[in-house]
Amino acid sequence: MIDAVVTGFSIALLPQNLMFCFVGCLIGTLVGVLPGLGPVAAISILLPTTFNISPVSSIIMLAGIYYGAMYGGSITSILVNMPGEAAAVITCRDGYQMARKGRAGSALGISAIGSFVGGTVSVILLMLVAEPLAGVALAFGPPEYFALMTIGLVVVTFLAGKSMVKSLLMAVAGLFLGCIGMDTISAQSRFTMGFTFLDDGLGLVPVIMGLYGMGEVFANLEGNLSVSIFETKVKNIWPTIADIKRSLGAILRGTGLGFILGILPGGGAVLSSFVSYGVEKKLSKHPEEFGQGAIEGVAGPETANNAATGGAFIPLFILGLPFNVVTAILLGAMIMYGLRPGPLILATDPGFFWGVIVSMYVGNAMLLVLNMPLIGLWVKLLKVPYALLLPLIVIFCIIGVFSINLNISEIYVMLIFGVIGYLLRKLDYDAAPMILAMVLGPMYENALRQSLILSDGSYHIFMTRPISAVCLVVAFLLLIVPNVPQVAFWRKKAIVEASDDY
């Protein structure tokens, strides 16, 4: 593994990869700072710009946007009481109160330090578990993959929105969208309605840019386009020894919780930050301070949401399965680049794998350097009128979609899904299960059909193989347990308020 890490550093430290890592981290911090964008919209908008560069440089930049947004989201939470990114929602509770007490610098400092520790340790853990898990994953066949994708979709719908029925409907819609195009076995067109450009399937980029890019624009147009910043001098950014002592346990626990929850289907940065906050409040000797400016209420969640980004790459790279919407977009990008994530990637393309993983370590160091000295600049950027930003987002979306295949029809697809994305927000539907199901749809269908071919059409194959049987039983239970009153109550408390509101 030492040789592999050295190889990773030799790739990650190439000048062009360092530049793309820096650009990704900078853009990620920027979209985290600006309320309303977030990593999904930013990656959606910038995805077309990566098609003319190498796959490793592309994923390095897109991953930098993902974990960079976790850093930037805390700045607006602390100074504006408005989360720049959904995972920073809980940071508002104590971060903003610390700012009102003149401790904005300490809150921002401990947030940056916790984010660096969580992100860095999660990358190290990712390096340690990658090869053993890849060996286990090699034993998986089509039934196991079908069962894993089933439990992934069910868990995401269990956690994604307030209504599980709505989330399931979105997942079914995503599976349908994934079926549009040419059937891989019979070569017959399905659901194309006579449009020949749909024979290759519905493009992922127009759909996600419509749902998250244009949908964001439409949603912001009817809201308040101005942001009021709490006027306070940001000073003493480095936390005191007392602050570090109070935060050390929260940072360590947040790292472990974030990494583990990042691996699980439907986990990720948002859930891990809320769970970390709840754990710190339970363990605190002074729980009454939470919500009034407790520094542990900033350190724990900010560490957890950054650690979750490292954990989320384990199922993506090792199993080839995305368990949240950002990794679903990254999987779609890798497939477009001709890569196939999964247990064999360590053997077929080790340079890509280790280069991207090591770049995350480099990127976390960059983010620490970027965030601490440039907080004043980020505060000034918050004053940029949204009336100027929204037209730029529209232009980037249109140019980005058209540049992929030079097909104007895909611009219309993007606009249609922009309207759909806006309506989904108004009707309180979460688009994340639909995107995840759309990306998984072709693999899900192929795994099912391959399994039935292996068993001569018998569905018993899913119950006679232990891993697939356990996964399907767990998925079935997750569909049943929301009807249990106590579980329903826990779920309502655990589910994060829809990130679309932010």
Chain segment 373-395, per-residue pLDDT in tens: 777 677 677 666 667 777 877 88
Helix 104-137 vs helix 241-263: crossing angle, to nearest 10: 30
Position 187 pLDDT exceeds 90 = no
Nearest by Cα to 108 from 17, 185, 32:
32
- More confident site: 317 or 502: 317
Position 353 pLDDT exceeds 70 = yes
- More confident site: 338 or 501: 338
C-alpha–C-alpha distance, residues 270 and 312, integer Å: 12
Chain segment 6-24, per-residue pLDDT in tens: 888 899 899 999 999 999 9
Helices (H) and strands (E) in the chain, counts: 23, 2
- Provide, for the chain, the percentages of residues in helix, strand and coil under a 3-state DSSP scheme, each rounded to the nearest 5: 75, 0, 25
Q: Give the mean pLDDT of 26-37.
A: 76
DSSP states of 303-330: HHHHHHHHHHHHIIIIIS---SHHHHHH
Q: Give the mean pLDDT of 51-79.
A: 83
pLDDT tier at 500, thresholds 50, 70, 90: very low
Structure tokens belonging to residue 265: 């289907």
Structure tokens belonging to residue 403: 């540049």
pLDDT tier at 257, thresholds 50, 70, 90: confident
Q: What was the pLDDT predicted at 388? A: 74
Q: What was the pLDDT predicted at 22? A: 92
Answer for the pair 309, 270: CB distance below 8 angstroms, yes or no: no
Minimum mean pLDDT among 43-47, 82-86, 403-407, 431-435: which range? 82-86
Instruction: Tell me the whole-structure pTM to 2 decimals.
Output: 0.74
Position 190 pLDDT exceeds 60 = yes
Nearest by Cα to 137 from 385, 319, 331, 362:
319
pLDDT tier at 501, thresholds 50, 70, 90: very low
CB proximity list for 377: less than 8 A, separation 6 or greater:
none
pLDDT tier at 162, thresholds 50, 70, 90: low
Nearest by Cα to 112 from 81, 84, 60, 70:
70
Position 200 pLDDT exceeds 70 = yes
Calculate the average pLDDT of the chain. Answer: 80
Q: Give the mean pLDDT of 82-94.
A: 70
- Collapsing DSSP to helix, strand or coil, 189 comes out as strand
- More confident site: 221 or 181: 181
DSSP states of 39-69: HHHHHHHHGGGGTTS-HHHHHHHHHHHHHHH
pLDDT tier at 483, thresholds 50, 70, 90: low
Answer for the pair 462, 455: CB distance below 8 angstroms, yes or no: no
Q: What residues are paired with 98 via a beta bridge?
A: none
C-alpha–C-alpha distance, residues 208 and 338, integer Å: 20
pLDDT tier at 188, thresholds 50, 70, 90: confident
Q: Give the mean pLDDT of 89-100.
A: 80
Angle at 76 between CA 44 and CA 61, to 5 degrees: 35
Angle at 31 between CA 29 and CA 34, to 5 degrees: 110
Answer for the pair 103, 297: CB distance below 8 angstroms, yes or no: no
Answer for the pair 152, 440: CB distance below 8 angstroms, yes or no: yes
C-alpha–C-alpha distance, residues 186 and 155, integer Å: 32
